[in-house]
Chains A and B, each alone.
Chain A
Amino acid sequence: MSLALFIEQLLNGVQFGLMLFLMAAGLTLVFGVMGLINLAHGSLYMIGAFICAGVAAATGNFWIGLAAGVAAAAAAGAIIEMTVIRRLYDRDHLDQVLATFALILILSEGTSMLFGPFPLYLSRPDSLAGTVHLGFGFNYSLYRLALIGFGIAVAVGMWLLITRTQLGVRIRAGESDREMIAALGVNIKALYTVVFALGAALAGLAGALVGSIQSVQVGMGEPVLILAFVVIVIGGIGSIKGALVGALLVGVIDTMGRFLLPRLFDLLFDAGRATDIGAAIASMLIYMLMALVLILRPKGLFPAHG
């Protein structure tokens, strides 16, 4: 194993973690402000990827596709919030889980009706093709590097939004005290729709960006959704900072576990299946991490309130 390979895997882990952060940020905002568990968040990711792939294929321009994907996810989020989600804020978690599970079925099958059963292909933009030299004879995919940049930019943007803008003030107020923002005369309905659409746009952005390194297909949002939940549970539900830390932890531990554990098991044990066992355990690592965090800190690493 070379150092270059190790660094490449580490960067892949960071890139994966930052994409998870895009998903987790929306999920954790929606839970923090509205108290809603949204299983359909992965469907918004899927919508972002599909619209991006469709528009990019039609126009021949990835960036137009990306903008369209984000806009479509945001619009879909706003529509879903106004028609369905809004009725769920006062319900218990069971109803929220079920209703948003139903939304997954509807959105997944709906997408498959519109786009057909086959995966779409989304090629990365020409300007980000190829690799970039990072010194010591080590090359890294330019596109993945750009994803890292995107992720950092969004994280900074979210921080500025929450701490420096009027919307951020309202979001923070909403997290700590719903009645207070009503008393301040903020239009809660509109605020909730905006927050939900914002989360949806981030999910759509992640879907579109990741779509060009994986295939764009129905159901692509579900594994990411579950990972995003793992992230926010580890980080502390409702906390953006927790989402960022949790996402990086999950991204790096998952990627490095899959990379290192099979090799480690191969070294430690002689049996022919050692590599397979290592791989099987590596795929469970983040769930073990989550269980461990919840056992030691039942409210996550950065509990949002109290």
Chain B
Amino acid sequence: MDESRKEFWLNAVLLVGLFATPVIAMMIDEPFYVTLATRVAIFALAAVGLNLALGLGGMVSFGHALYFGLGGYVAGIMAHHAFSGMPMVFGLSGSDQMLAIWPVAMLLSGLVALVVGVLSLRTSGIFFIMITLAFAQMAYYFAIGWPTYGGEDGLPILVRNQFPGLNTLQTWHMFLLAYGALVIALAVFAMLRNARFGAALMAIRQNPERVAAVGISPFGIKLAAFVISGMITGLAGAMMADLNRFVSPSMLSWHVSGELIVICILGGVGRLFGPLAGAAIFVGFEVIFGGLTQHWQFWLGLVLLAVVLFARGGVIGIIAGRERHG
């Protein structure tokens, strides 16, 4: 079979499989797997965001936990104020409506990504990796030290936020939201990649000097991609906080940044469905090996090492070969 057709079918299997999992789980009355599929969808969503910066633009951000955690805290803090009735900053009241929370989460993540991007994109290589890490660490330590919203202990979301027409307390409805967001994000990713913007962005990853020589400034294109990337990951963070009904500084920790990179790589960096494949593997690994041994991360480490050393295209790369840009 032609390789691009293989990738198409693989993507279809992933998308349908993710939807089928909770359906089957409900039929056999195993609600745990519905939540699990929701986790996969949200991790995949976060990684789609990172994939835009990392996979298309070649920006190795080691600080995407910043946007994930920021989104999470937006959901937590707005819900907290809606529950207590106390206004937030500037007299704004909180909200328990996801349709209000998500735009705020995305907007704030985008703004922070804009600032981080402007300051970081002047550097490259290891310096870029480390400065993005530094900004995420700043937020991490600030969240730990700032007592108003729980500090180190985190902040519970006492009642899950609402979405019109759905009962978000039902695991199935929560899954639908996450799945819908993921599908939209994948569509946006595909659209950006195929457009002129994506053509410039992917070219910058490969040869920024050449791109400048034809008259496109790499900085602006990379910055725009970085901002959109942060927004998508921020949305995922808000959803994850609602799924867990809890947000804590651990969402901002560098482990999360590392895990998001791992998800992208396991699936296939830069590939449209790489984040979904990677998230499925990551969460699946946690469930399967986590049930067998508490040291499941040991085996994850071995697999990851093997993938990096011997299978650089990730799962999608192994099955569907290298990507082509005809």
Question: Which of A's residues lie within 8 Å of B, judged by CB?
Answer: 31, 37, 84, 87, 93-95, 97-99, 101-106, 108-110, 112-113, 222, 226, 229-230, 233, 237, 273, 276-277, 279-284, 287-288, 290-291, 294-295, 298-300
Contact = CB atoms under 8 A, between A and B. Distances in A.
A230 B134 contact: yes
A291 B135 contact: yes
Given A98-B262, A101-B262, A105-B298, A233 B309 contact: no
- 6 shortest A-B CB distances, which residue pairs? A280-B145, A105-B301, A109-B298, A106-B301, A283-B141, A102-B304
Contacts of A222: 254
B127 A109 contact: no
A280 B60 contact: no
A93 B305 contact: no
Contacts of A104: 301
A213 B126 CA distance: 32
A102 B305 contact: yes
Nearest to A94: B60
Given A230-B130, A284-B141, A291 B119 contact: yes
Contacts of A109: 295, 297-298, 301
B74 interface: no
Given A283-B144, A284-B141, A291 B305 contact: no
B194 interface: no
A281 B312 CA distance: 41
Nearest to A87: B309
A264 B130 CA distance: 30
B53 to A, nearest CB: 12
Contacts of B304: 98-99, 101-102, 105
Given A97-B261, A283-B144, A226 B133 contact: yes
A298 B127 contact: yes
B265 interface: yes
Contacts of A106: 298, 301-302, 305
Nearest to B60: A94
Contact of A276 (B131, B146, B295, B300): B146
Interface in B291-326: 295, 297-298, 300-302, 304-305, 308-309, 312
Nearest to A276: B147
Contact of B129 (A87, A93, A230, A277): A93
B262 to A, nearest CB: 7
B86 interface: no
A289 B195 CA distance: 39
20 contacts: A31-B126, A84-B305, A93-B126, A93-B129, A95-B308, A97-B261, A99-B304, A102-B301, A105-B297, A105-B301, A226-B133, A226-B254, A237-B126, A281-B145, A282-B145, A287-B134, A287-B138, A288-B138, A294-B120, A294-B123
A99 B305 CA distance: 5
A102 B135 CA distance: 23
A295 B135 CA distance: 13
B150 interface: no
A95 B145 contact: no
Contacts of B305: 84, 99, 102-103, 106
A277 to B, nearest CB: 7
B125 interface: yes
Contacts, number: 128
Given A102-B308, A288-B138, A233 B130 contact: yes
Contacts of B207: none
A279 to B, nearest CB: 5
B148 interface: yes
Given A102-B301, A294-B122, A294-B131, 17 more contacts: A93-B125, A97-B261, A101-B258, A102-B302, A102-B304, A102-B305, A109-B301, A229-B130, A233-B134, A237-B127, A276-B147, A277-B146, A281-B142, A284-B141, A288-B138, A291-B134, A291-B138
A303 B123 CA distance: 13
B33 to A, nearest CB: 25
A294 B125 CA distance: 13
B141 A276 contact: no
Contacts of B312: 95
B62 interface: yes
B137 interface: yes
A186 B144 CA distance: 49
B31 to A, nearest CB: 30
B168 to A, nearest CB: 32
Contacts of B261: 94, 97-98, 101
A63 to B, nearest CB: 32
B308 A294 contact: no
A110 to B, nearest CB: 6
B115 to A, nearest CB: 10
Contacts of A291: 119, 131, 134-135, 138
Contacts of A287: 134-135, 137-138, 141
B300 A105 contact: yes
A294 B127 contact: yes
Given A93-B60, A280-B146, A295 B309 contact: no
B174 to A, nearest CB: 29
A103 B301 contact: yes
Contacts of B130: 229-230, 233, 290, 294
B152 to A, nearest CB: 11
A198 to B, nearest CB: 20
Nearest to A95: B308
B138 A284 contact: yes
A133 B187 CA distance: 69
Interface in B144-159: 144-148
Contacts of A105: 297-298, 300-301, 304
